[in-house]
Structure 1
Amino acid sequence: MWAEDFHEWLQERAIEAGFDTAGVAPVYGAESEDGQVDAARFADWVDAGRAGEMEYLKRRNEQGVLLRAGVEVAMPWARSVVVCAVNYNGEGPLSIEPAGSETGWIARYAWSGRTVENPEDGERLAPSDYHDEMLGRLRGVEAALHERYGCETKCYVDTGPLVERAAAAKAGVGWIGKNACVINQGLGSWLLLGVIVTSLEVAEDVALEVAADRCGSCTRCIDACPTDALVGPRQMDASRCISYLTIEKKGTIAEEFREAMGRQVFGCDICQDVCPWNRKSPIATREGMLTRREMVNPELGWLAAMDAPAFRRWFKGSPVERTRKKRLHRNVAIAMGNSGEERFVPQLESWSAGEDEVLAESARWALGRIAEAVEKG
């Protein structure tokens, strides 16, 4: 059982492991009022179709209960959740700042790199994936938990049967902003979350640390979303989100979203770029979260020219790897169309005649967009 001194001890262990902050929250049983509210909210979100094609969010147990509706559904022994967060605010411009029309945008969290020694040219930054970075750090905190408490545990980074941001809010890591991201008053919202589900009971006299909601009347994120994915405060329709469309969505992207996608080729940072709480966010300096300069405003022509070996060279071990070359090129084609630049016509014409019908259709659409831009002058 953990008591008042656990928070301070946990913070120390988390920072030692390479995190920037941490918290802990009790697991509310399915029969509790909080548990029922959380389960109903998540079920309603899934039932409304807002999970898009992300089938892993819709998985149910044999009784038909959504696995992510509550951590106790998959792990009846769970009594608390440790939430650890790391800052990924890479050094570089915002996506909403002026940039060349020939460039694309890769989400900030995918800029990450780790220093490696190269026999040919010395030190360089190799791609790093936050899943691997976070899991290794969580193992360090988990080992400390085992040594001190001997409890049962399970670590997760995006893969656990729970909604991490909800756990983070209950653990005092931050509040859930109107952009549906966890916002920490000192760090902002550039946070990656990892969780450790534990069997540790919460002492009855422990005062839980819950962050106050400090969004106030601000609606900058909602107003700025190009695809109207933020359908209300803290309500995200993932099927409309540019991050979902460019990363998770397979096949053709609906035309209604393409123009609004602008130059985003992997993910989207707009709702965080406009958030006032990110104005003073510290720059990430931890190993594994360092900025790979090539990922900041990359040239669309460079991305388009990548064959399979080049894609592996630049993105193996990076979050971009999961979207694969085919989908990345689909996204690049759309960004080329939105650029209005005639210089991209030869590449788009080549793609439009290719065997990949999804890429070919996207390229034809892009050629039409460029033709319209040229006609308008």
Structure 2
Amino acid sequence: MRAQAVAAGFDLAGVAPAHSAGEPAGALTAERFAAWVEAGRAGEMEYLKRRDEAGELLRTSVQVAIPWARSVLVCAMSYNAAAPRSVEPAPATAGWIARYAWSGTPDGAPMDYHDDMLARLRVVEAALLGKTGCETRCYVDTGPILERDLAAKAGIGWIGKNTCVLNQQLGSWLLLGVIATSLPAFEGELALAPDRCGSCTRCIDACPTDALIAPRQMDASLCIAYLTIEKKGMIAEELRAKVGRQVFGCDICQDVCPWNRRSPVAVKQGLMTRTELVNPDLEQLASLDAAEFKLWFKGSPLERTKRHRLHRNVAIAMGNSGDRRFAARLERWSASEDAVLAEAARWALTRLAILTEESNLAEESKDRL
């Protein structure tokens, strides 16, 4: 099936066994995931905490949610683009949207990678069914499956210290899709990738919120991607300054990874980079009304976060910019009927005042020298 996966537009494919939590090979994954949830590191992501009728977490093993599954075909697709990284210099007025959300059609329309990848998976699934007649089920981030764990077991790459799947040739800019099957995984198919992170800790050191609490361990409730996409309501005040200019997701731990320096630019038929989403202007994002938000983002990953949450994130980024030109917008938002946006705007105004004062003091000190 690897050949069919590549023909469908995937860069990598591999097969992982669907071990149950009761098997030695699956027990460690099950224990670690259960402990992670129990420690509260899933934040408000309730879908990660779903259990079956017996009270077992669905994601502890593939067979909890899909009892007939015996193997999983994992398909990976690179989404690296020929564009700047979030850690490179950018205008103070620019926000950051995670790289994976830049995709669009050749005519510039928004596109959600879930839809594109699912269509590609269906092609692979059809070829598989034509040969075997087995049971199958396709998922792209929608099923009760730990895709990264399975990707590592399928030989796609190793789990890096930033908890992303890392491939020696493609880096970590990988989107994952899976096909659960009733076919057994033959031992001859399995080939684990060696861990090549070595002593490097750049991702851990670079994380602004210290979400990477240890190598390969993340507290998702502190992750900027979680805070700007999944987190509803107010972002904790002590984390807002650390969010920086991120308005949707975060690429920092991947941008600093040495393996991503070598990652080739992905070229996929039917997929283009929407350049207007690279270092987007904060004021332009702030000015989007409901109709304009729909035009820009309907059918893209940003649709999920909704306009009111995006504007909450934009307000925080404006405060962190130190640019007083945003004060007028923030003043208007501070009187908004949306209590979360109003509170974020008030915080941002205070943050702007602090950064302005610090800048003035620095200039005075420079002048005295």
TM-score (norm 1): 0.94
Quote the Cα distance in structure 1 between the aligned partners of 2:230 and 2:141.
14
Other structure's SS at 1:85 match: strand
Aligned counterpart, 2:38: 47
Query: Which stretches in structure 2 are left out of the alignment for 5+ residues?
Result: 361-369
Aligned counterpart, 1:149: 132
Aligned counterpart, 2:159: 176
Aligned counterpart, 2:68: 77
Letter in 2 for 1:322: R
Letter in 1 for 2:63: E
Q: Is the CA contact (8 Å cut-off) linking 1:25 and 1:171 kept in structure 2?
A: yes
Matched, 1:192 2:175: yes
Matched, 1:125 2:108: yes
What is the correspondence of 1:134-283 to structure 2 with a 5 Å cutoff? 134-203=117-186, 206=188, 208-283=190-265
Quote the Cα distance in structure 2 between the aligned partners of 1:322 and 1:348.
24
Q: Is the CA contact (8 Å cut-off) linking 1:88 and 1:289 kept in structure 2?
A: no
Aligned counterpart, 1:25: 16
Matched, 1:293 2:251: no
Matched, 1:348 2:339: no
Aligned length: 359
| TM superposition shift of 1:74 | 1.3
Quote the Cα distance in structure 2 between the aligned partners of 1:23 and 1:94.
29
Q: Deviations over 1:206-237 (max 9, x none)?
A: 25111000000000000000000000010010
Aligned counterpart, 2:353: 371
Quote the Cα distance in structure 2 between the aligned partners of 1:49 and 1:199.
33
Query: Which stretches in structure 1 are left out of the alignment for 5+ residues?
Result: 1-9, 116-123
| TM superposition shift of 1:57 | 0.2
Q: Deviations over 1:311-334 (max 9, x none)?
A: 011111110110000000000000
Q: Is the CA contact (8 Å cut-off) linking 2:15 and 2:185 kept in structure 1?
A: no
> Which of the residues 96, 99, 112 maps onto 1:105?
96
Other structure's SS at 1:147 match: helix
Aligned counterpart, 1:7: none
Other structure's SS at 1:127 match: coil
Aligned counterpart, 1:36: 27
Quote the Cα distance in structure 2 between the aligned partners of 1:68 and 1:326.
31
Q: Is the CA contact (8 Å cut-off) linking 1:90 and 1:109 kept in structure 2?
A: no
Following TM superposition, the consecutive aligned residue runs of length 4 or more in structure 1 with deviations greater than 6 angstroms are none
| TM superposition shift of 1:288 | 4.5
Q: Deviations over 1:340-367 (max 9, x none)?
A: 1110011000000110000000000000
Other structure's SS at 1:28 match: coil
Quote the Cα distance in structure 1 between the aligned partners of 2:82 and 2:301.
18
Letter in 2 for 1:291: T
Aligned counterpart, 1:335: 317
Quote the Cα distance in structure 1 between the aligned partners of 2:62 and 2:185.
16
Other structure's SS at 1:335 match: helix
Quote the Cα distance in structure 2 between the aligned partners of 1:264 and 1:27.
36
> Which of the residues 269, 286, 289 maps onto 1:307?
289
Quote the Cα distance in structure 2 between the aligned partners of 1:237 and 1:19.
30
Q: Is the CA contact (8 Å cut-off) linking 1:284 and 1:290 kept in structure 2?
A: no
Other structure's SS at 1:25 match: strand
Q: Is the CA contact (8 Å cut-off) linking 1:18 and 1:286 kept in structure 2?
A: yes
Among the aligned pairs, what percent are the same residue? Answer: 68
TM-score (norm 2): 0.96
Q: Is the CA contact (8 Å cut-off) linking 2:102 and 2:274 kept in structure 1?
A: yes
Quote the Cα distance in structure 2 between the aligned partners of 1:291 and 1:188.
19
